Amino acid sequence: MIRICCEYVPFPGRMPGTVVDSGRGVRAGNVHTERPDRRGHSMNEPQEKPDADRSETAQSEGSEDRPADIRAPVDDTSNPVETRRKKWKPGCWWIALIPILLLAIFLLQLFGPNPDTVISPETTRITAPRWPDGRLNYAEFLYTRARVGVTSENNAAVLAWQALWPGELRPEHYQPMCEALGMEIPSGAESLVDVDDQSVIDQVSSVLPPEPNQEQGHPTAQDIIEMARNTAWTSDQLPVLAEWAKLNRVPLDLLVQAANRPRYYSPSPTYLTEEDDEMAYMLLPGVQALRNAVRSLATRAMWHVGEERPMDAWRDLHAVHLIARHTCRGAFLIEQLVGASIESIACTGTQTLLHHGKLSAKQARQILADLSALPNLPPVTKALDEGERFGFLDSTMRLAAGKEWSQLPSSPVASLILSMSIDWNVVIRKGNAWYDRVVEATNQPRSQRLVKMNSINRDWTDLRQDAGAAILKPARIFGGIVSRNNRSEWIADVLTGLLLPSLNSPGNAADRAVTRLELTCVAAALAVYRSANDAYPETLAALVPVCLDSMPIDLYSGKPFLYERRGDGYLLYSVFENEADDNGTDGSCGIVDGEWVTSSDPSSDPDMSDLVVRLPRVGILIPGAPVKKK
């Protein structure tokens, strides 16, 4: 139905002639087209109102002369159905899902599965063999390679274990060790009794005054045994030790035979019994047994020197030099350090022999030739690059497999982080970067190595402090919660800080061993000169080219060793690690300004660091015992 009204009704804000569609009708100028509502009524017809409004409506109708169907436009928002349709559009549901999706992603990176560990030569360094759970068996790799070409006939460890049996082996390891070495289980009836054994100490104590007065310089039994390892002594001076040497002749001779074999293979019993233990805690009983054994050999050598059997003494001391090299062939850094320590024992004893042994010219030249023919100690680089690095990688893969690792700090925060998702590839990559830096620095000449190592040491110290304090820093804790990469880097810092070895010690130990051997070779050349001239030379230049092909150079100063003839002996030394001339003072062995002093001498400064050879040595002073003449 269309009704045309002739009355003009202005529409607010519109010009005449404007078409407006309000949803109720179309108004063109003063033309209004109506449409019925849903009940069939005209939407312009007045609706029934409440009583309160009727009087107002009536008054309005009476006061104005206009059609009752003319009404103001109605706002669309009065229709709730239309409002809901416009408010809830289809895209709004996706917006509501975003927080839920973000929460799911957060929980997934927090507690989801760990990314697969990449096994490759660039990451894990080896790809086989493996444990049943897929982890790499680094010990198997090292020992499989070490036993290539080893037989029971050329393996020094076979004779060494026969001489030292059982050492520190546990009973459950007897059979596996003997099977690995191809030998029968020894009876142990003729095994070596170490000179440092308590039974030997008690016997030495029995011949000393009841209460040695150390304030007056009277030594204890341990002091006497220590001196007997470095100083010539006779059966008359120490009859108890002379009897010990005779009783242990067979095992000591076996050690000499073992030292002269070309190969050395003595695996860890932890590996032999297939115990899935951390590499850092693998048992190495053979290393400790050899360290004790060479002390006994050196003690017998000094007895031979005192009894004027110089070549018997050299046979024992040469064996100690060779045992040092056998020990250093091990894959682990501890074996390298023990080998360097054994070499120091050998050099000290050899220096005593060269002066006190009453050598002929031929004997002195033989010792010099044997010293010059000794192979260099294996570099520590290999132990750092393999043994120590493999220990880090083994610990990392143990943690990745959910196994316990005893060195990890026990704290609720650490346990919580390990229960979260960790990218162990980040840990491996970051740890390898540290070991790469250490290995690269170790391969440099000493001066460059020290600069690089000092830089690494500063960074390593900061890393340990930062990793240890991370569990107390809210920012690091929050970062570890919201980011798997942050958690992984924190684990890498902790593992590296715990497992990276003392950075300067390996290189310093190697330098010290090399310098001691070079000093010993110079001492041998001096012995050769003395045997031909009945006296030591005034300068080292007299040794070239008669005794030495060239002048030896001090590793620490880059100059020739410092030398001074004193009395019937001499003072020979290196400036050592502080690279300063401390006038031949070595507080570690009781030498001040090139002269022997007692340990109680207040002028003895252990911080003075020259590496000194001072001959002759002070003889063993035992109350009531005869003194060995120089």
**DSSP secondary structure of 212-273:** --GGGT---HHHHHHHHHHS---TTT-HHHHHHHHHTHHHHHHHHHHHTSSB-----HHHHT
What gap in Å lies between CA 382 and CA 365, rounded to an integer? 34
> Do residue 441 and residue 525 come from a single domain?
no
Tell me, yes or no, whether 275 lies in a domain: yes
- At 412 the pLDDT is 64
Tell me, yes or no, whether 282 lies in a domain: yes
Tell me, yes or no, whether 326 lies in a domain: yes
Contact status, residue 610 vs residue 582, Cβ threshold 8 Å: yes
Phi/psi at 415 (nearest 5 deg)?
A: -65, -40
- At 107 the pLDDT is 58
Strand order in the sheet with 19-21: 19-21, 25-28, 31-34
Q: Is the pTM of this model over 0.85?
A: no
Of 503, 518, 533, the last residue of a domain is 503
- At 468 the pLDDT is 57
Tell me, yes or no, whether 413 lies in a domain: yes
Of 503, 533, 552, the last residue of a domain is 503
Picking from 616, 618, 519, the residue whose alpha carbon sits closest to that of residue 568 is 616
> Do residue 493 and residue 589 come from a single domain?
no
Of 436, 470, 503, the last residue of a domain is 503
> Do residue 353 and residue 233 come from a single domain?
yes
> Do residue 186 and residue 291 come from a single domain?
yes
> Do residue 184 and residue 281 come from a single domain?
yes
Tell me, yes or no, whether 360 lies in a domain: yes
- At 480 the pLDDT is 57
Tokens (6 digits) for 142: 């090292």
> Do residue 290 and residue 415 come from a single domain?
no
What gap in Å lies between CA 159 and CA 161, rounded to an integer? 5
Residue 596's domain spans which residues?
149-208+219-378+506-615
Three-class DSSP category at 627: coil
Parts of the chain with a pLDDT under 70: 1-94, 96, 102-112, 211-217, 405-419, 466-482, 587, 599-608, 621-630
> Do residue 160 and residue 307 come from a single domain?
yes
What gap in Å lies between CA 417 and CA 467, rounded to an integer? 13
> Do residue 349 and residue 431 come from a single domain?
no
- At 497 the pLDDT is 79
> Which amino acid, 409?
P
> Do residue 321 and residue 303 come from a single domain?
yes
* List of residues 6+ apart from 363 with CB closer than 8 A: 310, 311, 314, 357, 531
**Pairing state of beta strands 25-28 and 19-21?**
antiparallel
Contact status, residue 349 vs residue 317, Cβ threshold 8 Å: yes
Tell me, yes or no, whether 300 lies in a domain: yes
Tell me, yes or no, whether 80 lies in a domain: no
- At 28 the pLDDT is 40
- At 108 the pLDDT is 58
- At 605 the pLDDT is 52
Tell me, yes or no, whether 593 lies in a domain: yes
What gap in Å lies between CA 117 and CA 429, rounded to an integer? 11
> Do residue 331 and residue 478 come from a single domain?
no
> Do residue 260 and residue 316 come from a single domain?
yes
- At 35 the pLDDT is 47
Tokens (6 digits) for 160: 């060494």
What gap in Å lies between CA 156 and CA 154, rounded to an integer? 6
- At 488 the pLDDT is 78
Q: How many distinct structural domains can be found in the chain?
A: 3
> Do residue 515 and residue 497 come from a single domain?
no
